[in-house]
Amino acid sequence: MREALADLVIMSEGQLSIALDIELSAELKNEGLMREALSQLQRLRKSSGLAINGRIKLILSCDNHELLSALKYHHDYLASELLASKLTLRKVPEAEIKHQPENIDINGIKLLVCLSLSFNQA
């Protein structure tokens, strides 16, 4: 038997009952956004033909406060996972970006990405 009670899902079978809190905290939502962005950025890096161990420079821009906050909070982790010697996050309107950015979709939010090879391989 399964029933929902507020933000809990309760399942029972015989003498066993389990209650699961299905509400996502702000921290979990932010981590989910960051992980989706990381996955998309790794795909973009791969499709760009960059060496798997080559350092890159990234500029990420979007006008969504929630996504930008999640990326800023996890800045160091993202930079490490993407081998980014420089990772810049900013809220810049698309019209003001000087380079031709790649557009990636993060759960319906447009993230503009400028990716280049870093010549500083440290």
pTM here is: 0.77
Angle of helix 65-73 versus helix 26-47 axis, rounded to 10 = 80
pLDDT band at residue 99 using 50, 70 and 90 as cut-offs: low
Place of tokens 């998309």: 40
Asked if 86 contacts 55 with a C-beta cutoff of 8 angstroms, the reply is no
Weakest-pLDDT range from 28-32, 59-63, 92-96: 92-96
Tell me what the pLDDT averaged over the chain comes to.
85
Which residue has 């500083």 as its token pair? 120
- H helix count then E strand count, the chain: 3, 7
Residue 95 has pLDDT above 60, yes or no: no
Q: Are 62 and 114 in contact (CB under 8 A)?
A: no
pLDDT at 2: 52
